[in-house]
A and B are shown apart, each in its own frame.
Chain A
Amino acid sequence: MTSPSRLLGACAAPAVAFFAAFWLLPVVRLFALPADKGWATYFAVLTNSRYLQSLLNTLGISLAVTLVTLVLGALVGITLARLRFTGKPLLLSLLTLPLSFPGVIIGFFIILLGGRQGLVADLTEWLGMGRTTFAYGLMGLFLGYLYFSLPRAIATYTAAASAIDAQLEEAARSLGASRWQVAKDVWIPELAQTTLACGAIVFATSMGAFGTAFTLASKFEVLPITIYNEFTNYANFALAASLSITLGIITWLSLFLARRAAGPAAAGA
């Protein structure tokens, strides 16, 4: 009879072999590649002003999107958790639908809203203000990122707020707590973990988002687009590798730190 641990090893072996061959090994090579062009290549993102600008753009838009997403997501989630109306399950499932959309579709949505033939252009023209477009600049990119971030935040906060004991709030109220006190003492502590976990995912997703910016061909350059251009248009593999390493470390680190801070309860991100 084979020993249990050998049996478990045999069960895991195919996945381990596959993962080692098609992720670990390639990523190790990716890490080694910039060294061919000298050690300075690893720090290109800091020493080259164009790459630095792209990194700062990406960090800035991701932070802004994360903040707005968390505030809107929390308010909408809490409202949806407490309101009762017909069609609520349908609305919730429609609101989470975009989680499965590729980024390119979201870019297209922003074009439908704010592009040259967009809805907003029609509206502003009708109002006599000329055709307004916002799809191809910072505003379009921001709204696109917000669009793919909100579903996750709304779903997470609705679930978390539904789970909060309504009696806790009742008790606080009956003891004469004001609305703000209830928010401060009941809601915020209960939702802090959700906020941390959800915020890290939204931030990491925004940092690495490619499809939306690609469709919008935005004038506001973000790091994934810079990497793509270096790789495809300039065949500068070492630099593309260096920038991807930087990006990967940032997204991994933000998720890792959030998980550390939130403890095992929030591990199911």
Chain B
Amino acid sequence: MAHPRQLSLLLPALTALVSVFMLAPIALSVLAGLVNNYSVGLASGLTLRWLGEVLDVYGSTITSSLVLALLCVVGSLLLGVPCAYALARSQSRWARLFEELLTLPIAVPGLATALALILAYGQIREFRQSFAFILVGHLVFTLPFMVRTVGAAFRRRELLALEEAARSLGASFSQRFLGVLVPAVLPAIVAGSLMVFTLSVGEFNLTWMLHTPLTRTLPVGLADSYASMRIEIGSAYTLVFLLVILPVLWGLQWLGHLIEKHHGT
């Protein structure tokens, strides 16, 4: 039988090893994007030259991805928040069925969804060649996350009482919805929005099939740079992705703590 002391050292050692496996590539790629010559290493000196080249060659993909992600957030809010409310309040069997169907784009690989979209709408040339085509794909994929996050907030019991009170005071539906309910679930709406934003910025499986040479997003550009550019440029581009995504993730985490503090768990 293993000695207890040996065991209690083994687990932290394993944890450290796994942490190195997870973190070393991130550190390596950040470093590789900032050194003059990757095969020489740090001795070749630090530079922002590769970042500059990424902005020159792939700058447009960064703005496209940011605009696309923002539109995706707006779209999923407009479609998702009312829908989440309806699903939270409805007792009907159709509501449960739709709720179930809505999660399918997460359960099914993005490749299949993308293929289906191309087969159904690929003939409509203007649509196929525009960013709207990618936006539709991202919306289908992110909508379930928004509906689930906001729906859980709408189901809270104290909210039912609040809504009832507003109703008995004679507030109209739009007054209740926009004046009472939406402010009450605002933290969930913000959390859902940040989640949708990160999902859209990082989406590749769908986007690679849906993009055209003129509609490229950040991950599509990344794949291109990995295949055709020197390793320093691929690394600098990865660093750009991290710089875009990190603030949003930290915001999400901070918000999570805030919600926990306010509502308790």
**Chain A positions near chain B (C-beta within 8 angstroms):** 2, 4-5, 7-9, 11-12, 14-16, 18-19, 22-27, 29-30, 33, 72, 75-76, 78-80, 83, 91, 93-95, 97-98, 100-105, 107-113, 117, 119, 147, 150-151, 154, 179, 204, 207-211, 214-215, 224, 227-228, 231, 237, 240-241, 244-245, 247-248, 251-252, 255-256
Contact = CB atoms under 8 A, between A and B. Distances in A.
B25 A109 contact: yes
A151 B22 contact: yes
Contacts of B67: none
A210 B109 CA distance: 9
Contacts of B143: 15, 18-19
Contacts of A83: 12, 15
Contacts of B245: 100
A239 to B, nearest CB: 11
B238 interface: yes
B12 A26 contact: no
Contact of A27 (B90, B113, B222): B113
Contacts of A98: 22, 26
Contact of A9 (B11, B78, B86): B86
Contacts of A154: 18
Contact of B120 (A29, A95, A228, A240): A29
9 contacts: A33-B119, A93-B253, A98-B22, A101-B202, A104-B226, A117-B231, A210-B208, A214-B208, A215-B223
Nearest to B257: A89
B86 A76 contact: no
B116 A78 contact: no
B18 A76 contact: yes
A113 B116 contact: no
Nearest to A252: B107
B11 A247 contact: no
A147 B24 CA distance: 11
Nearest to B10: A75
A17 to B, nearest CB: 9
Given A30-B115, A107-B226, A111-B226, A79 B29 contact: no
A23 B117 CA distance: 7
A19 B26 CA distance: 37
A82 B240 CA distance: 35
A152 to B, nearest CB: 12
Contact of B223 (A24, A76, A104, A209): A104
B211 to A, nearest CB: 12
Interface stretch (B51-59, B96-104, B185-193): B96-104
